[in-house]
Amino acid sequence: MNSGQIAENIWKSIDRLKSKLCLDDKQISSFLSLDPHSFQKLQNQRKDIPATALISLCSAFNIDEKTLCLNQVNYEKVKRDFYGIGPAKLSQKYSSAAFSKMFAIGQLYEFSKRLGKEDFFLRKLELDESLLKTDLNVNCELVSDGLKILSPYSTSLDIHHSPLAPILKQAKSFKELYEIWVAHGHIFENNWIYQIHSSTDERVRIHSYARPELIETFKSPRFSSLGITKIRVEVASYLPFHIGLPQAQYRIIKSVHYGDPYCVFEFTNTAIS
């Protein structure tokens, strides 16, 4: 990383500190031990900040200098420490019937960062960044809400950055691709049991059963939205991107949200159909 990139990362970190802590230029300049005029001049030109000023800033917020230079500051922790807020907690609405992995939300958060929407993403979900690195289980509503927030920016959700990408790219065919996905879906969530009902290189049909503990939960108003099913299936329709194929055409044949006992999804290979 060259000096120009480091300087830009530092300014991005300062911009986010100002935003997160609601600090104006005069306040942030005091934490840098700079007079407001000098700070304003540096900020306008996005120039290198003196090392002594950076040390002062890091000391004031208990930030490691390396994370500041890489723009990897845990801003939520800084905010809690700055305002004396207690440990982060998961909202109760996302902790009931929790069989998904926080890991899945972490992946969506990383995508939100690439969009520059990370603060918006965390705020909408009432999430603290520190929770994303925990082994907490969350419910499908949190995953669904996360997908809904990001889908207007990119429906495919930058699927090539998924942890499953290296495995999925090994598939030799459309058929094998979905077989691998079904076999490894538990990495992200355990709300559903997926089974391949039939598969060819032209068309794959998948059955999806809710965990026994969740059957009644999915009947409640909070979870009974067909939108949850549609988002799950739409994301899966982009899997062919991993092997150089276009988005699959999908069809929801049955859904627990229609009142059916299980879900049935069908994906058609649009490259040959």
Structure confidence by residue, pLDDT tens digits, 178-205: 999 898 877 666 778 899 999 999 999 9
- Torsion sign over Cα 223, 266, 168, 151: negative
pLDDT of residue 60: 86
Residues 18 and 69 placed together within one structural domain of the fold = yes
Q: pLDDT-derived band of residue 86, with 50, 70 and 90 as boundaries? A: low
Residue that finishes a domain, picked among 102, 125, 150 = 150
Spatial CA neighbour of 269 closest among 241, 230, 228, 229:
241
Domain assignment of residue 155, yes or no? no
Containing structural domain, residue 206: 162-268
Residues 49 and 96 placed together within one structural domain of the fold = no
In whole angstroms, what is the distance from residue 150 CA to residue 117 CA? 9
Residues 137 and 212 placed together within one structural domain of the fold = no
pLDDT average, residue stretch 97-101: 69
Residues 143 and 206 placed together within one structural domain of the fold = no
Residues 145 and 198 placed together within one structural domain of the fold = no
In whole angstroms, what is the distance from residue 31 CA to residue 182 CA? 52
Q: What is the dihedral of CA 146, 149, 153, 158, to 10 degrees?
A: 0
Residues 129 and 226 placed together within one structural domain of the fold = no
Residue 237's CB: how many other CB atoms inside 10 A?
A: 21
**Overall domain count for the chain:** 3
Q: What is the CATH number of the domain that holds 15?
A: 1.10.260.40
203-210: strand order across its sheet:
192-199, 203-210, 263-268, 249-254
Domain assignment of residue 231, yes or no? yes
In whole angstroms, what is the distance from residue 76 CA to residue 164 CA? 28
Mean pLDDT of the chain: 82
Domain assignment of residue 156, yes or no? no
Place of tokens 């927030």: 149
In whole angstroms, what is the distance from residue 268 CA to residue 250 CA? 6
Residues 257 and 167 placed together within one structural domain of the fold = yes
H helix intervals, the chain: 3-21, 25-31, 36-45, 51-61, 65-69, 75-83, 102-115, 118-125, 140-150, 165-168, 174-184, 226-236
Residues 102 and 78 placed together within one structural domain of the fold = no
Domain assignment of residue 39, yes or no? yes
Query: 95 pLDDT exceeds 60?
Result: yes
Residues 177 and 244 placed together within one structural domain of the fold = yes
pTM of model > 0.85: no
Residues 173 and 137 placed together within one structural domain of the fold = no
Residues 78 and 28 placed together within one structural domain of the fold = yes
Structure confidence by residue, pLDDT tens digits, 130-148: 788 777 778 777 877 887 7
Domain assignment of residue 79, yes or no? yes
Spatial CA neighbour of 57 closest among 30, 23, 18:
30
Structure confidence by residue, pLDDT tens digits, 26-74: 889 888 999 989 999 989 988 889 989 899 888 888 888 888 888 888 8
Query: 220 pLDDT exceeds 70?
Result: no
Residues 166 and 245 placed together within one structural domain of the fold = yes
